Amino acid sequence: MRKGDRHEPGIGGTAATALVFGSSAAVLVVEIVALRLLAPYLGLTLETSTLVIGLALAAIAAGAWLGGRWADERNARVLLGPLLLAAGVVVAATPFVVRAAGTLAGGSFLLVAAAATIIVPGVLLSAVTPMVTKLRLSTLAETGSVVGRLSGIGTAGAILGTVLTGFVLISRVPVTWIMVGLGVLLAVGGVVTQVGSRRSATATAAVVVGLGGLGAALVPSNCDVETVYHCAVVASDADDPRGRTLVLDNLRHSFVDLDDPTRLEFAYIRALAAATESQFPSEAPLQAHHLGGGGLTLPRFLAAERPGTVSTVSEIDPGVVAVDEQRLGLRTGPDLRVRVEDARSGLRAVADDSLDLVVGDAFGGVSVPWHLTTREALLGVERVLRADGVYAANLIDHGPLGFARAEAATLATVFEHVALAATPASVAGPGGTDGAGGRRGGNLVVLASHAPIDTAAWAGRLAEREVGWEVIDGAALEAWVGDAPVLTDDYAPVDQLLTPYARTAAAAPDSKD
């Protein structure tokens, strides 16, 4: 085609807009939902997000390149329908493929399955824009305006797909149905777009719809509730009908006895209870704030053991709160209030010098959210604590314990006194190695305060509660911390410091305990 030559566009403007807008939106829906599907197996870590974003970008780049090449070599008008149909099949199958891969052979095929279910539809859908662009060109003189307009439409579709999924769909629709529904929409789009073999296209679409619906019915999500952030399951205790375990993304977060809030099963919860008993021995009611809710085991314990205690809980996931109320017997009131909010943002609304106790027990996947670990975040905790107030935090780490050591180092820059309790193997030396193959990592609990911490009393209460942990502070803690970095808002590589644990979580997801 020469610059002055003109011919009729191969596709109408409305159809071109719909195809480019819809296909671009679908790519971003797949990307965001993929994060939710992988979270139960890999955690909500920076590595998981990087993996999914990297695969999606690679798919978009490959699709744009292949789509342009196919547009030059083939009849683009004929290819558009099959592309959408094939993408619909893969998208509809994605939740079932990922979950099957996550449970087979210890999750050995998970990354392969995840890559395939992100890359294949991403390539197919991203090929739509260059093909539609070629079809819309009627003269070389308008190349810039056609390419620019369709590129803008595609970007607008990607934005809508991102916003719609993040703010609307995930909070209202199970991810299984999001993907099956999107697959059906893509198949219908393929039918509408297809020319020539309309009957075969319609039959193909019917197969996609039928298989998608059948799969959704026969292969459940294994979640009692799919919340905004988690796949939530409440498991009953086979040996005790009163016992309930809250499982979020295959990780056991909380144990609740429906009849006895003072029954504490998880070691880290007993360690936190021992901390409150040893640092506040008078049994007077406390003013407490909890960063993270889960099953609200500790707030319930404090309410039962110290009548008059007022606990406020910042829990970011409204679905978890609903599960607590509907399945775990949570009753809120003046002495136990739950606010759906980010824990750090919620802390800003707390008055200065107003609390006896702040408890850090928030987790996103397998790690503490990084923005709750930094010096700046801890200065916010210090602000709301009274002069003799205590910050008690539950940490998860593994292997060399790089994150736990860094968090202890960070706490020491804010508070005058810091103490740590963990398994003997974890506190034996720098990096948590006892030289004898002892278990390293898992849960660790750290206390920080401007007032002296009664470590002997804490150790005594830990022994009474049969936790089996040891307590270190002072020079022993300094030696254990070693040269660990201080975490700040400008530098907090929490996920990287936790990488050894994050790698094992997919193969053997277990518990915060």
Same domain for 244 and 171, yes or no, is no
Residues 234/258, Cβ–Cβ less than 8 Å: no
Same domain for 27 and 127, yes or no, is yes
The secondary structure of 163-227, three-state, reads: HHHHHHHHHHCCHHHHHHHHHHHHHHHHHHHCCCCHHHHHHHHHHHHHHHHHHHHHCCCCCCEEC
Q: What is the CATH number of the domain that holds 460?
A: 3.40.50.150
Q: Where is the domain boundary, 199, 222, 245?
A: 222
pLDDT digits (tens, 9 = 90+) for 272-311: 999 999 999 988 999 999 999 999 999 999 999 999 999 9
Give me the sheet containing 336-340, strands edge to edge: 336-340, 310-315, 287-291, 355-360, 385-397, 442-449, 417-422, 470-473
The encoded tokens of residue 161 equal 């797909």
User: Domain containing 174: what range?
Assistant: 13-222
Same domain for 244 and 97, yes or no, is no
Same domain for 94 and 207, yes or no, is yes
Same domain for 271 and 336, yes or no, is yes
Q: What is the CATH number of the domain that holds 187?
A: 1.20.1250
Q: What is the pTM for the complete model shown?
A: 0.75
Residue 136 lies in a domain: yes
Q: Where is the domain boundary, 222, 252, 281?
A: 222
Q: What is the pLDDT of residue 13?
A: 84
Alpha helices in 43-142 (DSSP H): 46-73, 76-103, 110-126, 128-136
- The Cα–Cα gap between 200 and 205 comes to 9
Same domain for 140 and 263, yes or no, is no
pLDDT digits (tens, 9 = 90+) for 165-198: 888 887 677 788 889 999 999 998 888 887 544 4
In the predicted structure, residue 222 carries a pLDDT above the cut 90: no
Alpha helices in 349-473 (DSSP H): 375-384, 402-412, 424-427, 455-464
Chain center to CA of 462: 32
- The Cα–Cα gap between 512 and 364 comes to 11
pLDDT digits (tens, 9 = 90+) for 29-77: 999 988 878 876 776 667 788 889 999 999 999 999 999 999 888 888 8
Dihedral angle sign, alpha carbons of residues 170, 345, 413, 311 = negative
pLDDT digits (tens, 9 = 90+) for 358-392: 999 998 766 788 899 999 999 999 999 999 999 99
Residue 477's nearest CA partner among 432, 424, 418 is: 418
Same domain for 211 and 247, yes or no, is no
- The Cα–Cα gap between 160 and 90 comes to 22
Angle, alpha carbons 269-272-275 (nearest 5°): 150
Residue 461's nearest CA partner among 218, 286, 288, 278 is: 278
* Total structural domains within the chain: 2
